[in-house]
Structure 1
Amino acid sequence: MIPAKEELIKEVTFKTSRSGGKGGQNVNKVSSKVELIFNLQQSSFFTDEEKTLLNERLANRLDIEGNLHIVSQEDRSQLLNKQRTILKLTNLLTKSLQVQKKRKPTKIPKGVIEKRLNNKSITSSKKENRKKPGLD
Structure 2
Amino acid sequence: MAEDLKITDRVVIPDSELRERFSRSSGPGGQGVNTSDSRVELSYDVERSQAIPDELRDRVLERLGHRLTGGVLTIAASEHRAQLANREAARERLAALLREALAPPPPPRRPTKMSKGAKQRRLQAKKHRSAIKQLRRGSHD
TM-score normalised by the chain length of structure 2: 0.73
What is residue 29 of structure 1 aligned with on the other side?
Answer: 35
**Could you say if the C-alpha distance between residues 27 and 120 of structure 1 is closer, same or farther in structure 2, counting changes exceeding 3 Å?**
closer
Would the aligned equivalents of 2:8 and 2:99 in 1 still touch at CA under 8 Å? no
Shift of 1:117: 5.3
Aligned residue pairs total 126
Helix, strand or coil at the partner of 1:21: coil
The structure with the largest alpha-carbon Rg is 1
Higher helix share: 1
**Could you say if the C-alpha distance between residues 111 and 14 of structure 1 is closer, same or farther in structure 2, counting changes exceeding 3 Å?**
same
**Could you say if the C-alpha distance between residues 121 and 72 of structure 1 is closer, same or farther in structure 2, counting changes exceeding 3 Å?**
closer
Q: CA deviation digits over 1:49-80, x for unaligned, max 9? A: 2111111111121112x111100001010010
Q: CA RMSD in A?
A: 3.0
Helix, strand or coil at the partner of 1:28: coil
Shift of 1:15: 0.7
What is residue 48 of structure 1 aligned with on the other side?
Answer: 54
Q: Which runs of 5+ in 1 are unaligned?
A: 128-136
**Counterpart Cα distance in 2 of 1:54 and 1:123:** 48
**Aligned residue among 11, 36, 47 for 2:17:** 11
Would the aligned equivalents of 1:70 and 1:88 in 2 still touch at CA under 8 Å? yes
